[in-house]
Each structure stands twice: as structure tokens, then as C-alpha cells.
């Protein structure tokens, strides 16, 4: 089966560029933007040679996993476009729900989960299954002529394999017993993206996106530790605010709003991170 767009997505003017292997789908998409691509372009591959995650970390995409980047050239503020990562998380979780039969993957039951969803969203950019990292999302941007900017929304999913040398649990769809390939997942993802982007509505529907995201949030109401520039802040994960920043209440009862950091739940939050 080849990669293809959902009919609804194609009818909205989205385009598809599929590769057997690439260096980085994000890097390729941003290169297209700098040479004049108008956006609404999906760049996808089942193998990535030099993928990257947040803060310059490597992201492995061996043959059979999914690397997908959506290139957009939106109007409005870059600050608002940054919330598209939450749209991407919702779209991926919806797509996974659509293609993985119920009963194949159970909800997580440890401290990293509220036990409500098979696929949960971990702030700011991960998708979890059974409490382990299944997918990551990376937003990157570049400035264009005329004061415009382009955003690359990178989505990497462990379909058939996952890295073993990580400081946190990880998994893949295959390891969880789900018989789904990258092409089938991408087809559902392209459809789910369009639905969630309509909800976002150029930022006007951000509050609705926030509410949907919280309904899938991992660790909500539980103990959390957040590493920020080498320091660790501990408390209870209360919510995300209207700008999708992480909000915790620390041991002294103070409410802290965090724009960026590495989040740890449950037993890991109680230990030194």
C-alpha cells in the first residue's frame, strides 16, 4: 500500500510528497518553504536517517515506522501557531483510535495515566500508549520574505520498532499487538488533522482544542516533576492554561505556569530526575 491522503484532506487542497527514505521530513519541508512552497504539504516516509526531536535530540525512524511532517504557511502570530502541536497530538490520537481495534491496547493503570484513554497526550508533545512513549511531535519554523513564516509540524510514530536505550519507557504499535502499518496510520492521520484543524480555526477555537486535549491528558491531577534548565520543580499537574502552558501547584501551594520543560510523572516524579 502506498501513502495517500484522505479524500477530505485532498479536497481541501493538501498535497502529498512521499519518500522511501529521507534525512529529515521536517528539514525537507522547511527547505521547500524557503524555496517558495505555499504550504499545506505533507512530507512522509517510512524511514528517516537524521530525524530529530526536541532540544536537538535524535529521533530514530527505522524502516516501517512513520515520519510525517505537515508544512504550513499560516497567517497570524508565530506564538499562536505554536499551539498547532496540540492540534497534532489530538489528530494523532484520533487516528490511532480509528486504526487500532478496541481491545488490542488497554489503558494504562499506573501513576502516569488517568485510565481514560488508550492513547494519551503528554505535555507538550508526546503520545503515550500503556504509559510508554509511542510518538513524538516537533514544531519548527523558518522566516520567509515579507515577514511571513512557515511551520513544520513533525510527527514520528513507533509503528514497528522503538528505541531501547531511553531514560523513559517507550513502545511501538507492533510491540503492543496492533497490526497497523505506516501507510494506514497516515491515511487516518491526514483525515484527523483536517477535522482538528477545523476545530482550531486559525486559533479562534484554541479553547475547544485545549478542552479536548485535557480530556486525553496523561498525568492530570497526579504528581509531576518538571526539569527546567537543569532545575527540577515538583507538584501536582492541575491543567494547561489558555495558551497551553503547563500549570502545576507546588508543595507550598503556589501555582506555577511553565512554558517549556521536560515532564515526568508518577514514580519517576518522586525520584531524582
Model confidence over 25-75: pLDDT tens digits? 999 999 999 999 999 999 999 998 865 555 555 556 889 999 999 999 998
> For 114-118, 193-197, 214-218, which range has the lowest pLDDT when averaged over its residues?
114-118
pLDDT for position 128: 96
Supply angle C-alpha 86, 71, 241, rounded to 5: 20
| Distance of alpha carbon 40 from alpha carbon 13, whole angstroms | 7
What is the pTM for the complete model shown? 0.91
Written as nine digits, the cell of 164 is: 531501547
Cross-strand bridge partners of residue 66 = 157
| Distance of alpha carbon 25 from alpha carbon 46, whole angstroms | 10
Written as nine digits, the cell of 147 is: 515577514
Return the SS3 of 154.
strand
Higher pLDDT among residues 112 and 35, named by residue:
35
Among 22, 21, 16, CA closest to 3: 16
Amino acid at each position: 500500500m502506498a501513502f495517500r491522503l484522505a479524500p477530505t484532506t485532498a479536497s481541501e487542497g493538501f498535497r502529498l510528497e512521499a519518500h522511501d527514505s529521507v534525512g529529515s521530513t521536517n528539514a525537507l519541508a522547511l527547505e521547500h518553504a524557503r524555496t517558495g512552497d505555499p504550504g499545506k504539504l505533507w512530507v512522509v516516509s517510512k524511514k528517516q536517517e537524521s530525524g530529530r526531536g526536541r532540544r536537538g535530540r535524535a529521533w530514530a525512524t527505522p524502516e516501517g515506522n512513520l515520519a510525517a511532517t505537515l508544512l504550513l504557511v499560516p497567517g497570524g502570530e508565530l506564538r499562536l501557531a505554536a499551539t498547532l502541536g496540540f492540534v497534532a497530538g489530538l489528530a494523532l490520537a484520533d487516528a490511532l483510535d480509528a486504526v487500532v481495534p478496541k481491545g488490542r491496547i488497554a489503558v494504562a493503570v499506573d501513576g502516569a495515566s488517568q485510565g481514560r484513554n488508550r492513547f494519551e497526550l503528554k505535555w507538550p508533545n508526546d503520545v503515550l500508549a500503556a504509559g510508554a512513549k509511542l510518538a513524538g511531535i516537533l514544531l519548527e519554523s523558518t522566516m520567509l520574505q515579507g515577514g511571513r513564516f512557515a511551520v513544520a509540524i513533525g510527527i514520528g510514530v513507533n509503528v514497528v520498532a522503538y528505541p531501547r536505550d531511553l531514560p523513559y519507557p517507550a513502545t511501538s504499535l507492533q510491540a503492543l499487538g496492533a497490526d497497523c502499518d505506516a501507510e494506514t496510520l497516515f491515511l487516518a492521520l491526514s483525515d484527523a488533522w483536517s477535522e482538528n484543524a477545523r476545530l482550531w480555526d486559525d486559533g479562534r477555537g484554541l479553547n475547544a482544542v485545549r478542552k479536548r486535549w485535557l480530556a486525553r491528558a496523561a498525568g492530570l491531577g497526579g504528581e509531576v516533576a518538571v526539569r527546567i534548565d537543569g532545575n527540577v520543580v515538583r507538584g501536582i499537574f492541575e491543567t494547561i492554561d489558555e495558551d497551553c502552558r503547563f500549570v502545576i501547584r507546588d508543595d507550598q501551594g503556589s501555582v506555577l505556569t511553565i512554558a517549556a520543560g521536560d515532564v515526568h510523572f508518577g514514580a519517576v516524579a518522586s525520584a531524582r530526575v
